[in-house]
Structures are given as C-alpha cells and as structure tokens.
Chain A
Amino acid sequence: MSTTVDEASESPKSSESSADPFVHPALFYRGEAEYLAGTVPFVLDGLAAGEPVAVAVPAGNLALLRAELGADAERVRLLDMGEAGRNPGRIIPGVLRAFADAHRGTPVRIIGEPIWPSRSELEYPACAQHEALINLAFTGRDVTILCPYDADRLTSDVLADAEATHPVVIDTTGHRNSPAYAPDRVVATYNQPLPEPAVPVEAVEAAAATDIPKARRLAGARAAGAGLPASRVADVELAVTELLTNSLDHGGGTGTLHIWLDGGRFVCEVRDRGTLADPLAGRRPARPGHPRGRGLLLVNQIADLVRLHTDSGGTVIRTYFHI
C-alpha cells in the first residue's frame, strides 16, 4: 500500500526544543460530578478565548453536558460519538480532523470520548489503536483533544492503555505526565491476528480485474439475503470493491474475500499478501485536488466496524455491517 504523507498534518514542524502545540490529555473521571468538573471549564475556557469547541461523546454524557452548558451549548459542535464514532477508524477523519481542519489557523478544542464501558471486545482493539494514532495524526497542530475515561466502569487494562496513548493524564489529583506514554506500542500490541470465525465462511479469490465485479455481486447478494436494506447492500458492494481493488494493486495481485454472518452482523473480510505500512491509511480526510487514495477512507466511513491485522505475511481487513 502506498504511503502518502499529508504535509498539512504530519510534518514534524517543531524542533526538539520547541513544544508540540498538540495537547492530548486523558481525563479519568468517577461519576457525573467529576465528569462535569473535568469537561465544562475546558469548554467554557475555549469559548471565552474565542476558540472553536466540539464535543463528541456518548449520548448519555452528551445530554449531561448539554444540560450543564445551557445556552452556551449552542456555540459548541455537539456529536453523539456512538453514531459519529461507531467505527473507531472513522473518528480521526470524520470527527476530529473534520472539525479541526474546518478551523485552521486558530487553536481548536475537542472533547472526544471514543471508549465507553459497553464497547465490545471486538471493537476495543480498534478503539485503543485509534487513541494511539491521534498523536500521529495531530503532531504539530494547535489542537487540544481531551479524552474522558470512566474510571469507575472501565477495566484497569483499558485505563492502562489510556496512560500509554495519552502523554498527560488528568484526575482529581491534577495533571500529570504519563510515564507509560508509548502510542506506537499500543498500535503494535493490538495488531494481532483476528479470531477465526466460528461459523461457516464463504470464500472467493479475486486474481484479476474481471473477478472484482463478480465478487461484488456475490457479496451484494449475500448482504441482501442477510436482510440488509438496499442502501447498506450498496455500502457492502463499495467496501468489497475497494478492498479487493487495493489487493490487486498493492496486495500481491490477489485478494481473497471471506463472507459470513456473526450474530447480527454481516462480515466481509479481504486477505492479501501485502503489508499496510502506513498506520494512518484510511484516516486522512480527503483533500481537494487529490482524488486518489480515498478507498480505505470510504470503507472506514461506511462500515460499522473495521478491524485490521497487517504484518510481513499479509494484510487482513475485516468489515462489519450491522443487520
């Protein structure tokens, strides 16, 4: 897979001596009062300074914050992270950079809560990798992203990961630098072979361009048969086409499509022999005048969950569509 460097976001602008303007603290909160004490002043200080402020948190916390902010809530971009960030892979391009890039040239504040107690085991590795990749995606940007963590209800492993994905941790004792900060390690730790499906799997190999429309039609037929509505069948067809096209171009010339049903989810997975070297592939917003390289971005935006494993032996991209 090709590596495109987006000079607008990732160039190391700061020398070793100058501090990176990007700030990415985790907020460990226990209960509503601590949640509000940790988030409301962050929002109000931003508004007072004339900074654009966005809040992308799960619906319950969004309602809590909206009520507490009162009229000030109208000056804040409010998003339900359960919807906007259902697939963690779409949060950087679709939520965080979408907001920050719309306000270039001014400091921007965002509250982003991508991890909550009911995130499944299936989703969590993608969540942790997302948190780690925020650091890479925003290096050099004058942006602050505050990430609340429910310290009462999340496991100690999740909180330990948060200390590795955030350079600073905030709790009732104040701000502290996180000595465990090691985002690359988190990306690598959760880059694991995906669990084999426990149900029968249909598999077809695409080794030539003419196989791609056939694989697409098969996936579309299976998606429709599984009960997905026409708009989601179209999304499945798009995802399968983009993944297999990437396999033909960058994945050793052959991609194998696997299709199965996992409870209430329709699953499409593409395996190939390529290695995805760019950790931000599919996580950069589209740039005007740069029409190429939008396939994985599209897959991240339309699937309910994308899980990925890549190493020197090949790449597996598994996409989930809720039925």
Chain B
Amino acid sequence: METVGRLDQIADTVLTVERLPGRAGLRVSGEVDVSTSDEWAQVLAALRTTDAPGRLDLSGLSFIDVRGVASLVETARRLPSGQLSLYRPPMCLRRTLEVVWTDEMDHVVIEDEEAE
C-alpha cells in the first residue's frame, strides 16, 4: 500500500468580501467550498439586503463548488428582480452552470466587460 501524503503544508482557504466602491453590490475573493460555506452563506445573506441591482463581482474568486453554485442560484431566484449579475466568474462556475444548471440559467447573467 502506498504512503498517504499530508496536506498540512498547503495553506487554508479563505473567502473575503467587500462592498463595491461607488455602486451597489459586493466583491468576493477566495474559494467557495465546504470549508468556507458559512462565509459564503453570509455573503449571500448580505446580497439579499443590499440595494438593487444585485451584482456580485467574482473576478477574485478562484473556485466555487456545486453547493456554492446551488445556493447562489437560489439566492438569485429569490431576489426581487429574480436575477443576479456575476462579474467575471471563474471558469468552474461557468462550467457548472452550463453542465448542471441549464434549467435555471435565467437567474444569473454573466458579465465580462465593466459596465458603464
């Protein structure tokens, strides 16, 4: 049997959030998975209380798992507009939406260019 390696030399994941300067919405950086799910839930709760339009800058996000996308889509669906704009989401989020969220794609709009 092979030796099982150790993971403790690799740094922990973090998820940070800040308000977008001069406009409504939030900017999130880091990684979303089961190790940051509480922080992600707080981000989504904050979005629900932020003034419209719902906008999430994900240009600093490097990973999001399927559950993270599930709660994101669910949050978007429940916004008054029923829609959330995602600015520069990571490749894995686009991939997850395209492969297993084709049914609810209307709730998220992907933006790659800076609006205005």
Residues of A at the B interface (CB closer than 8 Å) are 200-206, 209-218, 230-231, 234-235, 237-238, 241-242, 245, 248, 256, 258, 286-288, 291-292, 294-295, 297-298, 301-302
A213 in contact with B31 given A234-B92, A237-B92 (CB within 8 Å): yes
Contact call B34/A209, Cβ cutoff below 8 A = yes
Give chain B's interface residues, CB within 8 Å of chain A.
2-8, 10-13, 31, 33-35, 37, 63, 65-67, 70-71, 73-74, 90-92, 95-96, 99-104
Residues on B with C-beta less than 8 A from A210 are 12-13, 35
In contact, B5 and A234 (Cβ under 8 angstroms): no
CA distance A256 to B3 in the complex (A): 11
Compute the total of residue contacts between A and B using a CB distance below 8 Å: 101
Assembly CA distance A200 to B63 (angstroms): 28
B3 pairs with A302, CB closer than 8 A:
no
Q: Residue on B with the closest CB to A217? A: B10
The interface centre, meaning the residue of A230, A231, A248, A256 with most chain B CB atoms within 10 A of its CB, is A231
Residue contact B95 to A238, C-beta cutoff 8 Å = yes
Beta-carbon contact of B96 and A298 below 8 Å: yes
Decide yes or no: A238 and B65 within 8 Å by CB, A209-B34, A288-B104, A298-B99 being known contacts: yes
Q: Is the CB of B4 within 8 A of A256?
A: yes
- Cα–Cα distance between A211 and B92 once the two chains are bound (Å): 19
Asked whether A295 lies within 8 Å of B66 as measured between CB atoms, the reply is yes
B4–A203 contact, CB under 8 A? yes
Contact call B7/A245, Cβ cutoff below 8 A: no
Q: How far is A234 from B90 in the complex, measured between Cα atoms in Å? A: 9
